[in-house]
Amino acid sequence: MLRGEDAHHLARVLRVEVGQQYEISDGARAYLAAIEGVSKNEVRFRVVEELEAASALPPITLYVALIKFDRFEWMVEKATEIGVERIVPVEAARTEQGLYAAAGKRVERWRKIARESSQQSRRVSAPVVEEARRVSALKVEGICLRLEERAGAKLLLGRCRGRRSRFRF
Protein backbone atom coordinates (compact mmCIF):
# COMPACT_ATOMS: atom_id res chain seq x y z
CA MET A 1 0.00 0.00 0.00
CA LEU A 2 1.25 3.45 -0.86
CA ARG A 3 0.10 6.60 0.96
CA GLY A 4 0.91 10.27 1.05
CA GLU A 5 2.56 12.35 -1.63
CA ASP A 6 3.59 9.42 -3.84
CA ALA A 7 0.09 7.94 -3.77
CA HIS A 8 -1.40 11.34 -4.56
CA HIS A 9 0.97 11.68 -7.52
CA LEU A 10 0.00 8.26 -8.88
CA ALA A 11 -3.73 8.76 -8.33
CA ARG A 12 -4.21 12.40 -9.32
CA VAL A 13 -1.33 13.27 -11.64
CA LEU A 14 -0.68 9.98 -13.45
CA ARG A 15 -4.32 8.85 -13.09
CA VAL A 16 -3.49 5.19 -12.58
CA GLU A 17 -6.21 2.62 -12.94
CA VAL A 18 -6.96 -0.75 -11.37
CA GLY A 19 -5.11 -3.50 -13.22
CA GLN A 20 -2.15 -1.43 -14.39
CA GLN A 21 1.20 -2.94 -13.53
CA TYR A 22 4.21 -1.19 -12.02
CA GLU A 23 7.60 -2.15 -10.69
CA ILE A 24 7.74 -1.45 -6.97
CA SER A 25 10.42 -1.87 -4.33
CA ASP A 26 10.58 -2.34 -0.58
CA GLY A 27 14.13 -0.96 -0.47
CA ALA A 28 15.69 -4.41 -0.68
CA ARG A 29 13.94 -6.20 -3.57
CA ALA A 30 11.91 -5.26 -6.65
CA TYR A 31 8.52 -6.66 -7.61
CA LEU A 32 6.06 -6.50 -10.47
CA ALA A 33 2.73 -5.46 -8.94
CA ALA A 34 -0.76 -4.74 -10.19
CA ILE A 35 -2.89 -1.92 -8.83
CA GLU A 36 -5.84 -3.29 -6.85
CA GLY A 37 -7.39 -0.04 -5.66
CA VAL A 38 -7.00 3.71 -5.98
CA SER A 39 -8.36 6.49 -3.79
CA LYS A 40 -7.38 10.14 -3.33
CA ASN A 41 -4.32 9.50 -1.13
CA GLU A 42 -3.90 5.73 -1.23
CA VAL A 43 -2.91 3.17 -3.86
CA ARG A 44 -3.10 -0.57 -3.10
CA PHE A 45 -0.91 -3.07 -4.96
CA ARG A 46 -0.97 -6.84 -5.39
CA VAL A 47 2.44 -8.42 -5.98
CA VAL A 48 2.46 -10.44 -9.19
CA GLU A 49 6.06 -11.65 -9.00
CA GLU A 50 9.46 -10.84 -7.56
CA LEU A 51 11.82 -9.45 -10.18
CA GLU A 52 15.32 -10.72 -10.72
CA ALA A 53 17.87 -8.67 -8.80
CA ALA A 54 20.26 -6.50 -10.77
CA SER A 55 23.93 -7.30 -10.46
CA ALA A 56 25.44 -5.65 -7.40
CA LEU A 57 27.60 -2.60 -7.98
CA PRO A 58 30.65 -1.86 -5.87
CA PRO A 59 29.84 0.48 -2.98
CA ILE A 60 30.92 3.94 -4.15
CA THR A 61 30.88 7.02 -1.94
CA LEU A 62 31.08 10.29 -3.83
CA TYR A 63 32.63 13.19 -1.91
CA VAL A 64 31.67 16.21 -3.96
CA ALA A 65 32.50 19.86 -3.48
CA LEU A 66 29.54 22.11 -2.82
CA ILE A 67 28.78 24.05 -5.96
CA LYS A 68 25.88 26.24 -6.98
CA PHE A 69 22.74 24.41 -5.97
CA ASP A 70 21.17 23.92 -9.40
CA ARG A 71 24.38 22.21 -10.57
CA PHE A 72 24.60 20.22 -7.33
CA GLU A 73 21.04 18.97 -7.82
CA TRP A 74 21.93 17.84 -11.35
CA MET A 75 24.99 16.03 -9.94
CA VAL A 76 22.82 14.21 -7.33
CA GLU A 77 20.48 13.08 -10.11
CA LYS A 78 23.30 11.79 -12.36
CA ALA A 79 25.25 10.16 -9.52
CA THR A 80 22.08 8.32 -8.53
CA GLU A 81 21.52 7.15 -12.11
CA ILE A 82 25.01 5.63 -12.35
CA GLY A 83 24.67 3.75 -9.07
CA VAL A 84 26.54 5.75 -6.42
CA GLU A 85 25.71 4.41 -2.95
CA ARG A 86 26.47 7.50 -0.83
CA ILE A 87 26.84 11.22 -1.62
CA VAL A 88 28.75 13.48 0.78
CA PRO A 89 28.65 17.24 0.10
CA VAL A 90 31.97 18.84 1.08
CA GLU A 91 33.00 22.42 1.69
CA ALA A 92 36.12 22.62 -0.48
CA ALA A 93 38.76 25.31 -0.80
CA ARG A 94 36.90 26.97 -3.67
CA THR A 95 33.36 26.53 -2.41
CA GLU A 96 31.56 29.86 -2.62
CA GLN A 97 31.08 31.53 0.70
CA GLY A 98 27.68 30.79 2.20
CA LEU A 99 27.01 27.53 0.34
CA TYR A 100 28.10 25.39 3.28
CA ALA A 101 25.78 27.24 5.67
CA ALA A 102 22.88 27.01 3.21
CA ALA A 103 23.50 23.30 2.50
CA GLY A 104 21.71 22.29 5.71
CA LYS A 105 18.50 23.75 4.31
CA ARG A 106 18.95 21.90 1.01
CA VAL A 107 19.85 18.37 2.12
CA GLU A 108 16.22 17.19 2.31
CA ARG A 109 15.65 18.44 -1.25
CA TRP A 110 18.76 16.55 -2.41
CA ARG A 111 17.45 13.39 -0.72
CA LYS A 112 14.13 13.79 -2.52
CA ILE A 113 15.94 14.24 -5.85
CA ALA A 114 17.98 11.09 -5.14
CA ARG A 115 14.82 9.13 -4.31
CA GLU A 116 13.01 10.31 -7.45
CA SER A 117 16.07 9.64 -9.64
CA SER A 118 16.41 6.15 -8.19
CA GLN A 119 12.77 5.46 -9.07
CA GLN A 120 13.26 6.72 -12.63
CA SER A 121 16.43 4.68 -13.11
CA ARG A 122 14.76 1.58 -11.62
CA ARG A 123 17.10 1.27 -8.65
CA VAL A 124 15.89 -0.74 -5.69
CA SER A 125 17.05 1.92 -3.22
CA ALA A 126 18.18 5.52 -3.31
CA PRO A 127 21.69 6.58 -2.35
CA VAL A 128 22.26 8.07 1.08
CA VAL A 129 22.75 11.84 0.88
CA GLU A 130 24.62 12.96 3.98
CA GLU A 131 24.79 16.34 5.67
CA ALA A 132 27.48 18.67 4.29
CA ARG A 133 30.90 18.40 5.91
CA ARG A 134 34.05 20.42 6.07
CA VAL A 135 37.18 18.90 4.53
CA SER A 136 38.87 18.87 7.93
CA ALA A 137 36.10 16.60 9.29
CA LEU A 138 36.37 13.94 6.57
CA LYS A 139 37.50 10.43 7.30
CA VAL A 140 38.11 8.76 3.96
CA GLU A 141 39.00 5.07 3.66
CA GLY A 142 39.55 2.80 0.66
CA ILE A 143 40.65 3.80 -2.82
CA CYS A 144 40.48 7.48 -3.74
CA LEU A 145 40.39 9.08 -7.13
CA ARG A 146 40.78 12.83 -7.23
CA LEU A 147 39.60 14.71 -10.26
CA GLU A 148 41.59 17.78 -11.24
CA GLU A 149 40.27 20.61 -13.37
CA ARG A 150 43.67 21.66 -14.75
CA ALA A 151 44.44 20.28 -18.19
CA GLY A 152 47.46 17.99 -18.20
CA ALA A 153 47.43 17.35 -14.45
CA LYS A 154 48.64 13.86 -13.58
CA LEU A 155 46.07 11.34 -12.41
CA LEU A 156 46.11 10.79 -8.66
CA LEU A 157 44.87 7.38 -7.67
CA GLY A 158 45.76 5.65 -4.45
CA ARG A 159 44.65 4.33 -1.09
CA CYS A 160 43.14 6.76 1.40
CA ARG A 161 43.78 6.25 5.08
CA GLY A 162 42.81 8.26 8.11
CA ARG A 163 41.38 11.73 8.36
CA ARG A 164 43.36 13.31 5.58
CA SER A 165 44.98 11.40 2.82
CA ARG A 166 47.71 12.76 0.63
CA PHE A 167 44.93 13.97 -1.62
CA ARG A 168 43.56 17.45 -1.05
CA PHE A 169 39.94 18.08 -1.96
Q: What is the DSSP code string of 49-70?
A: EEPPPPPPPP--EEEEE---HH
CATH tag for 61-138 (out of 3.40.1280.10, 3.20.20.60, 3.40.50.300, 3.30.465.10): 3.40.1280.10
pLDDT digits (tens, 9 = 90+) for 51-97: 887 767 788 899 999 999 899 999 999 999 999 999 999 998 888 88
Instruction: With cut-offs at 50, 70 and 90, classify the pLDDT of residue 168.
Output: very low
Q: Do residues 110 and 84 make contact, with C-beta atoms less than 8 angstroms apart?
A: no
pLDDT digits (tens, 9 = 90+) for 123-153: 888 999 999 999 888 777 776 766 666 677 6
Indicate the domain borders of the chain.
Answer: 2-50, 61-138
Instruction: Give the residue among 106, 62, 125 at the shortest CA–CA distance from 88.
Output: 62
Mean pLDDT (whole number) for 111-134? 91
Q: Which CATH class is domain 2-50?
A: mainly beta
Mean pLDDT (whole number) for 35-56? 86
Beta pairing, strands 30-39 & 21-25:
antiparallel
pLDDT digits (tens, 9 = 90+) for 3-17: 888 888 888 888 888
Report how far Cα 24 is from the mean position of its chain's Cα atoms.
Answer: 17
Distance CA 149, CA 110 (A): 24
